[in-house]
Amino acid sequence: MKKIAVFPGSFDPITLGHVNVIERSVALFDEIIIGIGTNTSKNYMFSLEQRIDFCKEAVQHLNNVRVEQYDGLTIDYCKQVDAHFILRGIRNGGDFEYERSIAHMNKSLHPEIETVLIFTDPQYAFIHSTIIREIMKNKGDVSSFLPKNITVYG
């Protein structure tokens, strides 16, 4: 069985913390799919096309990572692409509690799919896309928090 993991998120934008989790996880899986989901309750700063391009450029150096967009529940998308793992990054205790609740819910829906939690390296633990977007909206410099390919700042 091929070990496929889905790393779901809105990636609005993808950050160095996301890339850190992906880079540290590539040895664990045969393939990682960055799954850009659609959250109807979010107002995105970047278009879907921009987010896909940012993600593709940020991981182009990793040959077992691809980027796809999906709609609906992540757990259903995992079944669709034959992924038996959901990869999630953890920055802090708040993330852990949130991710644990989702992992338990997903396990009850599809027991054959495991959630794998990877803690970000400490230097990325404070990076949060919501805060990045706020800094960008106010014309602040976020270049030290984002992959080099993201050159649109605010």
**Is there a catalytic annotation at residue 18?**
yes
Which one is catalytic: 18, 51, 88, 133?
18
DSSP state of 1: -
Which one is catalytic: 3, 42, 104, 137?
42
Question: Vertex 100, ends 1 and 3: CA angle to 5°?
Answer: 10
The shares of helix, strand and coil residues in the chain, as percent rounded to the nearest 5, are 35, 20, 45
> How many Cβ atoms are within 10 Å of 94's Cβ, its own excluded?
9
**Is there a catalytic annotation at residue 129?**
yes
- Burial (CB < 10 A; 0-12, 13-18, 19+), residue 132, is buried
Which one is catalytic: 25, 51, 129, 133?
129
Which one is catalytic: 24, 79, 91, 107?
91
**Is there a catalytic annotation at residue 91?**
yes
Respond yes or no on whether the N-terminal peptide bond of residue 111 is cis (omega within 30° of 0): no
Beta bridge partners of 7: 34
**Is there a catalytic annotation at residue 2?**
no
> How many Cβ atoms are within 10 Å of 43's Cβ, its own excluded?
7
Which residues are known to be catalytic?
A: 18, 42, 91, 129
